Amino acid sequence: MSAISIGQAAVLGVVEGVTEFLPVSSTGHLKITEGLMNIPVDDKAVVGFTAVIQVGAIGAVLVYFFKDIARIVSAFARGLADKEQRYHHDYKFAWWVIYATIPIVVVGLAAKPLIDGALASLWVVAASLIVGSGFMWAADQMGRHKRGEDDTDIKDAMIVGASQILALLFPGFSRSGATISTALIRDLDRLAATRLSFFLGIPALTGAGLYELKDALGTGAGAGPLLVGTVISFVVAYASIAWLLKFVANHSLNAFVGYRILIGVALMGMLATGVLSA
């Protein structure tokens, strides 16, 4: 019998699609939802399932930014063949994304037992939601929002890419929240910060999904639920991306900060009263 039913997979697909790129923590929301549905969050099949359905959300990024990605990949290919093309921003940006992914891969592999163990607690999720909110608020206040996407450099990519480690180690912190906030501290405007967050997330999240695929299929998650969850996360994530880019162009992150604090406090309350188990 599958560890996750088709219905549960559909719900988790919606949650993943809505929260993956919003700075509210998809991992935190998935863990809370799994807990409310009495799904064992520490089950290998469940851990694998949540990683795999992220690929659906990443697929939405690939489709939404297809023209940008094709342009960057094309510039990268031209640069490999022609030295003069290596001065092009898109060629350099492709390398920056590769370099910026290395820290999270190294930490992810080295700290996997800890990430899947003690740090997977819902108490950690609750605390990270609240602490991450403070980081987001401070970053939005500190940032001067004066640099656009064409102004990004390798230092931006490396620092912002490394900030993904915060969400890796502390589920609830939010990968997009960490990266967008760090980019804002680097004085990127909100739209440039959000787009950089998307591009840096592609290799990291795709790699995580593929790495966990063997556990998801081999320990009972079921191919049917995986397919349903992944497809739904793709559709919902596509809509979320379009909405977020329009929102950040004209608004601060304060709405997300307030929401995260409310969810974090509510989660602590549910844990303290036994409604959810850590």
Contact residues for 11 (Cβ-Cβ < 8 A; gap 6+)? 33, 37
Q: How many CB atoms are located within 10 Å of the residue 253 CB?
A: 25
In terms of Cα–Cα distance, which of 82, 84, 101 is closest to 163? 101
The runs of H, that is alpha helices, within 37-163 are 44-64, 66-81, 89-110, 112-116, 122-142, 154-162
Residue 130 · residue 177 · CB < 8 Å? no
Angle at 71 between CA 156 and CA 94, to 5 degrees: 35
Angle at 128 between CA 239 and CA 62, to 5 degrees: 25
Average pLDDT of adjacent 10-residue blocks, the chain of 278 residues: 82 95 90 86 77 87 94 95 91 95 92 84 93 96 92 95 94 93 96 94 81 64 85 97 94 95 95 86
Domain boundaries, the chain: 6-272
State how far the Cα of 182 lies from the Cα of 33, in Å rounded to an integer: 28
Query: CA-based Rg of the chain, rounded to a whole angstrom?
Result: 18
Position 1 scores a pLDDT of 47
**Residue 89 burial (C-beta neighbours within 10 Å; 0-12, 13-18, 19+):** middle
Amino acid at 136: M
Q: How many CB atoms are located within 10 Å of the residue 33 CB?
A: 19
In terms of Cα–Cα distance, which of 25, 26, 16 is closest to 261? 25
Residue 14 · residue 237 · CB < 8 Å? no
Distances (CA, A) of 221 to 9, 49, 180, 214: 10, 6, 32, 10
Angle at 137 between CA 133 and CA 143, to 5 degrees: 140
Query: On the CB side of 89, how many CA atoms lie within 13 Å of its CA?
Result: 7
DSSP-derived secondary structure letter, 147: B
Max Cα–Cα distance, the chain, nearest Å: 64
